[in-house]
Amino acid sequence: MGENSYFYTQKNYFSIMNKKIFLPFLSIVFSGMMLSVTTFAQANKSIKPKTQTKKVETNKQEPGTRVKIRTDMGTMIVRLYDETPLHRDNFIALVKKGFYDSLIFHRIIPQFMIQGGDPMSKNADASAMLGSGGGDMERIPAEFRPTLFHKRGALAAARDGNPQKASSACQFYIVQGKTYSIDELNMMERQSGRTFTDTEKKVYTTEGGTPFLDQNYTVFGEVESGWDVIDKIVAEPRNSSDRPLKDIKMYMEIMK
């Protein structure tokens, strides 16, 4: 990958504290450590995704624009948050233009997330290194909100390592995550200096998510239906760069 690639993060906060892990388009640093790709790709080869706690889908209509994401594995409905208007409006504009149609989910990591939106992924060769596309598009200023966090099904914007933590204009990820114990969350609080709310603790210990990304990447929506699609996509065989061996295309439309 290289200095211009994106997406730094970690899959398991505790087991890799002394390893470097790099992923294009999502960055996070704990205790001054930068995370790199090779170790992470190798470490994940033997990991099988754990059974996720089933989300309860409700008929209650919350405010926000809905987007239908059709994939080769099924359909998801995501709701965009009105609390993040810059990300919401940008995503809506791209969907209306057909920007995402025929792009693929180019990175999948069990117990972590599925990532897509790289314009270079459309009809990309199987050997192509993806994850840096869209870098010439104007970044979106960060819109961190205390009540919006990385629970299972969260829709969030990927980004590079820019100090303002501004988002990619097109690449996004959807959280699968995993559940955490209270002790693990307490350790994250001590390491990061951030305090989880009672609501966040309840969600992270029952439904799961990726709490170590909170307030570092803008969460701008959530999956309302089609939870099983996330699990189907993330369970697909993948190569050493975490790209699915079979292209998983997406098509999006704004729901009326």
* Interval 195-245: pLDDT, tens: 999 999 999 999 999 999 999 999 999 999 999 999 999 999 999 999 999
Query: Residues 108-115: what's their mean pLDDT?
Result: 98
Instruction: Pull the structure tokens for residue 231.
Output: 């699990």
The pTM assigned to this predicted structure is 0.81
The total of other beta-carbon atoms located within 10 Å of residue 236's CB is 17
Q: If you average pLDDT over every residue of the chain, what do you get? A: 83
Q: How far apart are CA 91 and CA 107, in angstroms?
A: 19
Query: Residues 49-77: what's their mean pLDDT?
Result: 74
Domains and CATH numbers, the chain: 61-254 (2.40.100.10)
The percentage of the chain sitting over the pLDDT mark of 90, rounded to a whole number, equals 73
Residue 29 has pLDDT above 50, yes or no: no
Give Cβ neighbours of residue 136 (< 8 Å, ≥ 6 apart).
none
Greatest CA separation found in the chain? 48
Query: What's the confidence (pLDDT) of residue 256?
Result: 74
Q: Which of 59-68, 147-156, 223-232 shows the lowest mean pLDDT across its residues?
A: 59-68
Residue 20 has pLDDT above 90, yes or no: no
